Structures are given as structure tokens and as C-alpha cells.
Chains A and B, each alone.
Chain A
Amino acid sequence: MKRFYFISAALLVAVFFIVLLVPGVAESIEVRLLSWLSGAAT
């Protein structure tokens, strides 16, 4: 179980830095967020 938490924490840190540093990823998330918001609004 300890290993699971360690891997999870590493995964979350990786997700954070990938979104922050890899060009286009943040924009892609924003497009998904926008489509979700517009879907929820209608």
C-alpha cells in the first residue's frame, strides 16, 4: 500500500509538470474543460 501511495504521488507530480511544461497540453485541457462547461450549460 505504501508503494501505491508513492507511485500515486509521483504520478500526480508528473501530471502537474507535464501540463505546466509540455507545450499544448494545458491548451488541450482547456478545450476539454470548455466543451464540458458548454455541455453543462446547455
Chain B
Amino acid sequence: MNVVRRVLPVVGLLVLIPIVAIAAAALSARLSDGPSVVLAGGPLVAGELFTGSEPDWAFARDVGTIELQLLDPPQSRRIWIAEHEGRAYVASGYMGSMIGRLWKHWPAQAERDGRAVIRVDDRRYERTLQRIKTGPIVEGVVAEFRRKYGFAATPADVEAGSVWLFALAPRADVNGGMR
């Protein structure tokens, strides 16, 4: 009994050290300009803000990942991007699983308020995330995710809600213009 009483606090300390270290790393990432590879980051600050007419997103075919920040809450994460017919899309998998519900909050947050900023190659774009569940576009976008990343999703997964698909639409500003 005495041995247990002596060992238990040491074991507790050994468990707490990595937990505290990961919590501190997460806080460090949260205070940074943009996300790291795994951990969510703070608002996207650096980089020229794109203005002008809607670009052809075909260049995103060669982009591995982008940084995506919602305005509410102002947190950013690294995410895959797919281009289809000149428009850009992002997706979130595991949405039908317990892991997805615990791990991924941004898709639900984006559905509530889709205003976002993305950063691609050090340039920021103001966007609105619009969820897509059905339609002829889904098959093409899913196929592009499969080609680019080997993401084994189907249009049926999108319709069933186990994969959430968002279009990165231009954001309408207060004057009614698009940016």
C-alpha cells in the first residue's frame, strides 16, 4: 500500500508532463499567425489581401494545402483544397463518426457563419464557405479530391453527411460588390 502511495504521484507527474507540453504547444500555435501542421492557429495576418475580380482557381491544382480561418471563431487550420471548373472547394471527412464530432468543430462553425479568410502562397483571400450536399458539381469535386489526395469519398458520402463539402465562394462586401 505504501509503495502504491509513493508510485502513484510519480506516475501522475509522468502523465501530466506530456499533457502540459501539448497544451502549451496548442496555446503557442493558437497565438501564432496561422496554423501549424497539426494544431489550429490564430488569425491569418501576414500576406497581401487579394482584391479584384474572381480569380481562376485552376492554380490551386498544384497547391498541397491552404490555411483556412473563419471569422467566428478567429482560428485557422491547414486543409486540403480542390479545384473544379475554376472554383475552389474544401472538404471535411469523418463527419459521421464520433472522432469527427469530437475533433472537428470548424465545419459546423462554418455552416453557422461561413465568412472566412484563406491564405494560399502568402496571399490572403476573403471567402464565404457555402456547404454543398447535392448536385452535379459534387461528383467532379469529389473526383478531384480523390485524384489529388487519394481521398476515398463518394458523392453518396457527401449526401449522407459523412463528408462535408464547402465551396470557397467570393465574399459579398457591405457595398454589394464581391471580393
Residues of A within 8 A of B (CB): 1, 4-5, 8, 11-12, 15-17, 19-20, 25-27, 29-30, 33-34, 37
Contacts and interface: CB of A to CB of B under 8 A. Distances in A.
B160 interface: no
Q: Is the interface of B mostly helix, strand, loop or mixed?
A: helix
A26 B29 contact: yes
A11 B12 CA distance: 13
Given A26-B25, A34-B38, 11 more contacts: A5-B9, A8-B13, A11-B17, A12-B20, A16-B20, A19-B24, A25-B25, A26-B28, A30-B39, A33-B38, A37-B38
Contacts of B17: 11-12, 15
Interface string B50-65: 0000000000000000
A17 to B, nearest CB: 8
Name the residue among B13, B25, B36 with the largest chain A CB count within 10 angstroms. Answer: B25
Contacts of A4: 9
Given A5-B9, A8-B9, A37-B38, A30 B20 contact: no
Interface in B16-37: 16-17, 20-25, 27-29, 36-37
Contacts of A5: 9
Nearest to B23: A16
Contacts of A12: 13, 16-17, 20
Nearest to A38: B38
B24 A15 contact: yes
B37 A34 contact: yes
Given A4-B9, A30-B29, A19 B21 contact: yes
Nearest to B5: A1
A11 B13 contact: yes
Given A4-B9, A11-B13, A26 B24 contact: yes
A16 B19 CA distance: 10
Contacts of B9: 1, 4-5, 8
11 contacts: A4-B9, A8-B13, A11-B13, A12-B16, A12-B17, A15-B24, A16-B21, A20-B28, A30-B36, A34-B37, A37-B38
